[in-house]
Structure 1
Amino acid sequence: MFHSSKRRPPALPTTRFVPSSTQNGSTGATYKDKSLRPPSIRVRIQHLCTRPATLLGLFLLVFVGTGWTLGLFGTGSERVRLGGGPKVVARDWSALRALRAQNGLGGPLIDEKGVVTPAREYNETVLILCPMRNSIEHIWHFFHLVSTLTYPSHLLHLGILVSDTTDGTYQRALELADERQYSRKFRGKRMGRISVFQKDFAAEQKAAGEDAYVGENVGKERHEYAAQVGRRKLLGKSRTWLLNAAMVPEVDWVLWVDVDVVDYEASMIERLLAYAKGDRPSRSERGADVVVPNCVWKTYNELGPYDRNNWIETPESLKLKAELAPNDVLIEGYKDHPTHRFNLASLVPAADSSTVLSSHNTYLLSTPFPLSSLPSWPPADLTLPPVLASATTVPETLDLDAVGGCLALVRAEVHREGAVFPAWPPVDHQLETEGFAQLVKALRRSAGSHGADGVDPLERRSGRGRLLGLPRYYVYHGLYG
């Protein structure tokens, strides 16, 4: 009987049995038993979160995450830095020398006109060394410049020694070293090794009754004449300590760089190596044990001479040295105490850099640049070196008798043979880098037959014991660094 009531009819009875078919042949009979329905996602999540195994897993995840964040375990930078295991290192220098003589290994070089000489095989390790003291304002830029170098980063080692510092330079050096080696930013460009050391020397010098430099080592104060002997003693100890701590068998060349050098060419290492190996394109050139560019100061629109420790002896300077007591020390660059040496810095034009530097390369002096255009040329009361006496333009290279530490590339075997940085007593009246230069000449030049200039002809061709200056190639130093 049909009812017209609008009320909903009562629900059909439910059962756990679902017949495969009804009397009229239809399949999939409807049913309303909720226990037969698959559980919803919400129910599944609730069930999963209440399981003991899930709760234990969540606890372990929170514990591990907290420990990782706090550096209790995991791969934090300090743990990675201190990690590693024992290994065997072997190197046959005799076999290596024969290999180099056969292959003539070198790197790319950009010449004065911007022409790139293609690279040959890279396989030589360069150790960059830098002593620092109260250098917090320079250290980030120092690391930045190193990261711009085009030499393969895996063949670069970096060694830093911080001494007598009060401004947090050591802690900042560690932070930047960790960032350079472990952060994603430098993935694929990490260096072969970075070593950061801390060792104070001033207090030990003072306690021993020696001349001790206790200044802040910043600004004009560090260049006062009265501070130089004590300061150079401290620098000599710092450089030698750093060299011995950072030198490893893999190193082929050592590049000394001041922390307050503000700019240099990205391909600077390749260029210096080309001179050191006598591998300059389109010219016959012998190599050198030490190569130094001309270190100048630079502002936004001016430049001028800075490092005055790259010099050549003259008859006047040799006469002065003959009259000195054995422990007298000569310091360059002070008008009240002239040494009468010819300085590489005397070949730097004091002019607007835009009118002096090559338009192709802002690190190269325009070629040719007439010597007559230099300020105060020729130097008054000074005998010029023979190579300059007849020259009309600034030469590309100049043999030196001493070098400074602003930036210098040194053949590693020179250091391994004993050429370090004397702190005391002086070597031929010189300390630190200038004393190092005297050791290079004494250790690397044989006592056999020599030419008119005191250099053995065979050593002249190989560059053994040679100190080479590059008057026209610039690296830039801070004005009051």
Structure 2
Amino acid sequence: MLHAKRRPPPLPTTRFVPASSSPSTYKDKDIRPPSIRVRLQRACAKPTTLVAAFLLVFVGTAWLLGLVGSRGEKVRLGGGLKVVARDWSRGLETAGALGAYNETVLILCPMRNAIEHIWHFFHLVDTLTYPRHLVHLAILVSDSSDRTYARALELADERQYSRSYRGRRYGRISVFQQDFAATGSSDTGAYAGANVGKERHEYDAQIGRRKALGKSRTWLLNSAMAPEVDWALWLDVDLVDYEPTLVERLLEHARAEGPAGGADVVVPNCVWKTYNEMGAYDRNNWIETPDSLAMKANLSSSDVLIEGYKDHPTHRFNLASLVPSDPAASLSSNPYLALSPLPLSSLQHWPPSGLTLPTPLSSATVVPTSLSLDGVGGCAALVRASVHREGAIFPAWPPVDHQLETEGFAQLVKALRRTGGADGEVGPGGRGRLLGLPRYYVYHGLYG
């Protein structure tokens, strides 16, 4: 019997399968293309991939921490080509209510060996409620033997470049360093102290110290003043506390309406306070009296008057005389404002012995809200920028009407009164007026 011819078995196929075909159509697993999971596993096992991933993580972490990508010294100094315009004749629209302002405030602070105070200084400025983008901050470090300048740069960079301050940047922060105590100086009265503690308040050190401070303040002012600045706020580095609305409150008094309203310079009462005691600190806020004017008539032009020393009386009335000694008995719920009314009879040393009272106080029974002054200190002082631009700086030498530094500056501001009327008369809008606020406090370190 003849057998039927058998068909041979099919050969293994090697035909091309389109990529869209399902992997299950491959009958031979050896020629099946690897899956995405296998490809990723193979790629991650390569040394080059591991190195690239490490670099990516390292650079990303460094950027988040601000170690890379931050702006350096060249960017600090260079701002690109700009056109700056400011028409002062048009003025600005300003609002009188707290918190509704659109003027630029420049906060200025000269520092020397202030490493123990500088962090707290920045912290207090951060608490101010005035719009942050309208605040410029300028610091000048001079003749320091500690890390004040380096620390100031660190704190400035933190606020302007770190991610934690995003949305809360200042309009500008400037940090300068300039020494004034040159070796071999011909100025025999140059101040050579460290400017710390009680040593800086010794009477023999005052003229030399005021000369150095006058140079420092004027240098800082000329370096930091920009066209957009409307007000300058001078603050001591060793202030320990002030109201968050300090800028708004001082501006409110500087812009006050009325015949006697407004001022070119406004100063609060700078005091020290413990839990049960209170006292005056800045004694450079004063009013001339008939006795002080008579004494000045017999002085030579180079004589300098220094306030606050019993052995060298000036016979002036000091804003410090209106500071109570018991904070619990005189302060309201606001720790920066004294009670209203605050009886003059409640003051520890009232009336001042051997002193002729100025006219506003000769018949008063309560501490007034404000007083026109003839001298101001630099503990905290708000100044109209136009006053600085017109030449009211901080004389180092020679003295102006027997005064140096901030008190000499006050005499230059008073000279502007003559443009508003008769000699010595306060001009319109408070032109040339120095205003003190006896019942509004900022707090200074006791031995700062």
Same fold (TM over 0.5): yes
Unaligned runs of 5+ in 2: 1-9, 18-23
Q: Secondary structure at the match of 2:209?
A: helix
List per-residue Cα deviations over 1:422-475 (Å, max 9, x = no partner): 00000010000000000111134328535xxx305xx1x410000000000000
Look up the match of 1:455. Answer: 425
User: Does residue 417 of the first structure (1) align with residue 412 of the second (2)?
Assistant: no
- Scaled by the length of structure 1, the TM-score of the pair is 0.83
Residues 1:345 and 2:345 are matched in the alignment: no
Aligned to 1:445, the other structure's residue is in SS state: helix
- Partner residue of 1:113? none
1:39 aligns with 2:35: yes
AA matched with 2:437: L
Root-mean-square deviation (CA, aligned residues, Å) is: 3.0
Change (3 A) 1:128 1:447: closer
Alpha-carbon shift at residue 278 of structure 1 (Å): 0.6
Alignment of 1:289-328 (within 5 A): 289-328=264-303
Q: Which residue of 2 aligns with 1:170?
A: 149
CA–CA separation in structure 2 for the residues paired with 1:431 and 1:383: 24
The answer as to 2:95 corresponding to 1:105 is: yes
Q: Work out whether 1:202 is the aligned partner of 2:181.
A: yes
Q: Is the 8 A contact 2:44 2:50 kept in 1?
A: no
Distance 1:414 1:55, change over 3 A: same
**Contact 1:14 1:32 (C-alpha < 8 Å) held by counterparts:** no
TM-superposed CA distance for 1:413, in Å, is 0.2
- The 8 Å contact of residues 16 and 36 in structure 1, kept in 2 or not, is answered as no
Q: Distance in 2 between matches of 1:181 and 1:436?
A: 32
Tell me, yes or no, if the aligned pair for 2:270 and 2:443 is still in contact at 8 Å: yes
Quickly say closer, same or farther: Cα 1:39–1:290, change in 2 above 3 A.
same
Match of 1:116 in 2: none
Q: Distance in 2 between matches of 1:384 and 1:14?
A: 124
Q: In the alignment, which residue of structure 2 is the partner of 1:161? A: 140
Give the Å deviation of 1:355.
2.2
Give the conservation status (yes or no) of the 8 Å contact 1:14–1:31: no
What's the offset of the Cα at 1:37?
5.1
Partner of 1:261: 239
1:63 and 1:390, CA in 2 relative to 1: closer, same or farther beyond 3 A?
Answer: closer
**Counterpart pick for 1:399 among 359, 365, 372:** 372
Q: Which residue of 2 aligns with 1:476?
A: 443
Match of 2:434 in 1: 467
Q: Displacement of 1:344 after TM fit?
A: 0.2
Determine the C-alpha separation between the residues in 2 that align with 1:386 and 1:350.
Answer: 24
Matching of residue 434 in structure 1 with residue 401 in structure 2: no
Would the aligned equivalents of 2:211 and 2:397 in 1 still touch at CA under 8 Å?
yes
Q: 2:251 aligns with which of 261, 273, 281?
A: 273
Give the conservation status (yes or no) of the 8 Å contact 2:416–2:431.
no
Match of 2:69 in 1: 74
Conserved 8 A contact 1:251-1:412: yes
CA distance in 2, matches of 1:83, 1:34: 65
Report what 2:305 is aligned to. 330
- 1:354 matches 2:344: no
Give 3-state SS (helix, strand or coil) of 1:339's partner: coil
Give the 3-state SS of the residue equivalent to 1:245 in structure 2. Answer: helix
Structure-1 separation of matches of 2:340 and 2:11: 103
1:15–1:31 contact (8 Å) kept in structure 2? no
Q: Which has the larger displacement, 39-48 or 304-313?
A: 39-48
Q: Which residue of 1 aligns with 2:130?
A: 151
Give the SS at the match of 1:446.
helix
Equivalenced residue count is 435
Work out which of the residue numbers 68, 74, 86 in structure 1 matches 2:81.
86
Could you state the TM-score of these two structures normalised by the residue count of structure 2?
0.89
In structure 1, stretches of 5+ residues that fail to align are: 1-12, 21-27, 109-118
Deviates more, 1:245-254 or 1:72-81: 72-81
Equivalent residues of 1:292, 1:470 under 8 A apart:
yes
How far residue 209 of structure 1 moved from its aligned partner, in angstroms, is 2.7
Partner Cα distance (1:438, 1:294) in 2: 19
Task: State the AA in 2 paired with 1:474.
Answer: Y
- Encode CA deviations 1:56-107: one digit per residue, 9 max, x unaligned: 96698599779979999733454542443110100000012xxx4xx45334
CA distance in 1, matches of 2:53, 2:164: 32
The percent identity for this pair of structures is 68
**Equivalent-residue separation in structure 2 for 1:239 and 1:191 (angstroms):** 21
2:361 to 382, 388, 391: 388
Change (3 A) 1:56 1:323: same
Map Cα deviations across residues 146-175 of structure 1 (whole Å, 9 max, x no partner): 000000000000000000000110000000
* Larger CA deviation: 73-82 vs 307-316: 73-82
CA distance in 1, matches of 2:226, 2:147: 27
Indicate the SS of the match to 1:316.
Answer: helix
| Counterpart residue type for residue 329 of structure 2 | T
Instruction: Give deviations 1:254-277, integer Å, cap 9, x for gaps.
Output: 000000011000001000000000
Please state if 1:188 is matched with 2:167: yes
The AA in structure 1 aligned to 2:325 is A
Distance 1:56 1:86, change over 3 A: farther
Q: Which amino acid in the other structure matches residue 39 of structure 1? A: S
Tell me, yes or no, if the aligned pair for 2:417 and 2:425 is still in contact at 8 Å.
no
Judge conservation of contact 1:126–1:253 (CA < 8 Å) in 2. Answer: yes
Q: Secondary structure at the match of 2:300?
A: coil
Q: Give per-residue Cα distances to partners, 1:103-149, cap 9 Å, x unaligned.
A: 453341xxxxxxxxxx44x2100000000000000000000000000
More divergent stretch after superposition (65-74 vs 178-187): 65-74
- Cα deviation per residue 1:276-299 (whole Å; 9 max; x = unaligned)? 0015xxx88610000000000122
- SS of residue paired to 1:229: helix
